[in-house]
Amino acid sequence: MEERSRLVASGNLLQAHSWKGMLETCGITVELRGEALLGGVGELPADLQDVELWVGESQYDQALAQLETLNSVSPKWQCVKCHEINEGNFELCWNCCAERSELIS
């Protein structure tokens, strides 16, 4: 069996699932691992679960490039309230919890 490499350790089950789906559309086989998958899913808030994405070593570079593409699709944004820079996939300012604004630096 092919060696697998850990691609991402994400704390967010929903995020991990969306990455998995996106990578699989590109023909990359993704395995989700994590304690959250062993049982009791649905009991805990998705963002408290410890989830990892694993891919085969031969597809690791490709998978990484795809993730970077995905991340670059969401530009960073600046909070209008506290002027903090937030990652593109954040819907709320991590610093002050203000809603995402259109002020993009």
- Which parts of this chain interact with Zn ion (CB under 5 A)? 79, 81-82, 84, 93, 95-96, 98
Q: Compare residues 69 and 95 and give the one whose CB is closer to Zn ion.
A: 95
Q: Compare residues 65 and 103 and give the one whose CB is closer to Zn ion.
A: 103
Q: Which residue has the tokens 């993704």?
A: 30
Q: CB of residue 80 vs Zn ion: minimum separation in angstroms?
A: 8
Q: CB of residue 56 vs Zn ion: minimum separation in angstroms?
A: 40
Where does residue 48 rank: exposed (0-12), middle (13-18), buried (19+ CB within 10 A)? exposed
For residue 85, how many other CB atoms are within 10 A of its CB?
Answer: 12
Q: CB of residue 49 vs Zn ion: minimum separation in angstroms?
A: 26
Q: What is the DSSP letter of 8?
A: E
Q: Compare residues 61 and 84 and give the one whose CB is closer to Zn ion.
A: 84
Amino acid making up residue 68: E
